[in-house]
C-alpha cells in the first residue's frame, strides 16, 4: 500500500529516477562519442514490387555498432537521440550515407533502386533540410527519384502549413516522399491530400493479425482504396507470412517489405541480393 510506506516509498522512487537519469546520460555520452568514432551503420531492407516480384527499393535503417554491446537497434537509441538533438547530426550522416550508397550502386552498374530514408520530426523542422537534400543530390549526381524520404504523420501535423511548404520544396527537387507508419497517427483525409506524398506505408501493426482479424483487413482495404484514389502507391511493412502476402495481393497493395522476403541487410549483403537478381516468387 503506497501511503503506508511513506518516506521509504519516496526514497524508492527518487533512487529509481536517479538511476534512469544516470543511464540516459551514459547513453547520450557514448552515443555522441560513437557518432564521432564512426560507429553508425546503415542496413537496407528490400522493398519488392508485388506484380513483378522484383526488388525495386530499399529502406535504409540505422544501427549502432557498439564496441561492447554489439549491434544496437534504433529503438534503443533513437528516442535519446531525439531528446538530446543528436538526431540532427545522426540524420545528416544517414542521409549522406544513403546518397553515397545510391551513387556507389550506380557505379557498380546495378539496376537502380530507390532508397528510403527516415526523417525525424526535428530534422524535418530544420529550415535547411531542402537545401541539404539538394546539395547531396548534386554532390553525388544521383537521380532525385531514387531518393525517398519517409516522414511520419506526427512529424507534419504540429505545423501543417509549414510542413506543406517544406514538402513541396523537397518534392520540387524530384525526390519522392512517403508517409511512414500510416494509420498510427491522427491525420485526416482532407489534410493528407494537401501533401505531395507519392507513397503511403501501412504500419506493421495492421497486418500482424490480418489473416484472423476482419476489422484489420477492412481498415487496410480502405487505406489502399484511399491512397489509390489520391494516386499514391502503397507499401506494406512487416509481412512475415505467405497468408499475409496473399491477403495484401488480393487488396491490390503495390509493394511489400518484411521478413518474409528479407530482414534489413548490411550494404554488401544487399548488393549481393541485387547482383543475384533475387525476387519474390509468385
Task: For residue 190, give the nearest of 166, 157, 215, 216 by alpha carbon.
Answer: 157
Which residues, in sequence order, are bridge partners of residue 48? 55, 256
CA 269/CA 163 separation, integer angstroms: 36
CA distance 90 to 34: 10
CB 200 within 8 A of CB 219: no
Give the interface segment with Mg ion, choosing from 5-13, 76-84, 112-120, 260-268 (CB under 5 A): 112-120
For residue 10, the partner it binds in ligand C2E, Mg ion, none, with Cβ less than 5 to 8 A by kind, is none
Which residue of 148, 153, 181, 216 would you call a contact of Mg ion, by CB under 5 A? 181
Minimal distance in Å, beta carbon 280 to Mg ion? 19
Residue among 276, 274, 279, 265 at smallest CA distance from 60: 265
Who contacts 105 (Cβ-Cβ below 8 Å, separation ≥6)?
A: 112, 113, 271, 274
Considering beta carbons, is residue 118 or 171 the nearer one to ligand C2E? 118
Shorter beta-carbon distance to ligand C2E: residue 61 or 224: 61
What is the x/- site pattern for Mg ion, positions 124-153, by CB under 5 A?
--------------------------x---
Find which of ligand C2E, Mg ion, none residue 73 binds, CB within 5 to 8 Å per kind: ligand C2E
Interacting residues with ligand C2E (CB under 6 A)? 45, 61-62, 73-75, 78, 91, 94, 118, 120, 150, 180-181, 204, 237-240, 257-259, 264
Cell 494537401 identifies what position?
194
Q: Which residues bind Mg ion (CB under 5 A)?
A: 118, 150, 180-181, 237
Amino acid at each position: 500500500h503506497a501511503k503506508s510506506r511513506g518516506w521509504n516509498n519516496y526514497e524508492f522512487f527518487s533512487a529509481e529516477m536517479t538511476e534512469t537519469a544516470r543511464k540516459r546520460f551514459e547513453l547520450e555520452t557514448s552515443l555522441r562519442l560513437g557518432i564521432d568514432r564512426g560507429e553508425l551503420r546503415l542496413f537496407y531492407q528490400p522493398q519488392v514490387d508485388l506484380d513483378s516480384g522484383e526488388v525495386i527499393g530499399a529502406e535504409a535503417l540505422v544501427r549502432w555498432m557498439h564496441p561492447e554491446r554489439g549491434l544496437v537497434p534504433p529503438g534503443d537509441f533513437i528516442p535519446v537521440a531525439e531528446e538530446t538533438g543528436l538526431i540532427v547530426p545522426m540524420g545528416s550522416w544517414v542521409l549522406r550515407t544513403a546518397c553515397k550508397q545510391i551513387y556507389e550502386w550506380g557505379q557498380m552498374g546495378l539496376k537502380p533502386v530507390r532508397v528510403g530514408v527516415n526523417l525525424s520530426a526535428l530534422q524535418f523542422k530544420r529550415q535547411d533540410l531542402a537545401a541539404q537534400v539538394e546539395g547531396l543530390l548534386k554532390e553525388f549526381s544521383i537521380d532525385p527519384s531514387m531518393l525517398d524520404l519517409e516522414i511520419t504523420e506526427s512529424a507534419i501535423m504540429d505545423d501543417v502549413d509549414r510542413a506543406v511548404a517544406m514538402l513541396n520544396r523537397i518534392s520540387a527537387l524530384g525526390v519522392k516522399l512517403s508517409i511512414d507508419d500510416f494509420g498510427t497517427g491522427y491525420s485526416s483525409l482532407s489534410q493528407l491530400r494537401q501533401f505531395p506524398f507519392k507513397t503511403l506505408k501501412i504500419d506493421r501493426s495492421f497486418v500482424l493479425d490480418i489473416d484472423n482479424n476482419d476489422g484489420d483487413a477492412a481498415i487496410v482495404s480502405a487505406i489502399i482504396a484511399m491512397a489509390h484514389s489520391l494516386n499514391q502507391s502503397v507499401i506494406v511493412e512487416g509481412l512475415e507470412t505467405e497468408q499475409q502476402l496473399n491477403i495484401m495481393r488480393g487488396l491490390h497493395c503495390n509493394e511489400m517489405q518484411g521478413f518474409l522476403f528479407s530482414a534489413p541487410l548490411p550494404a554488401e549483403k544487399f548488393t549481393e541480393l541485387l547482383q543475384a537478381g533475387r525476387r519474390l516468387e509468385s
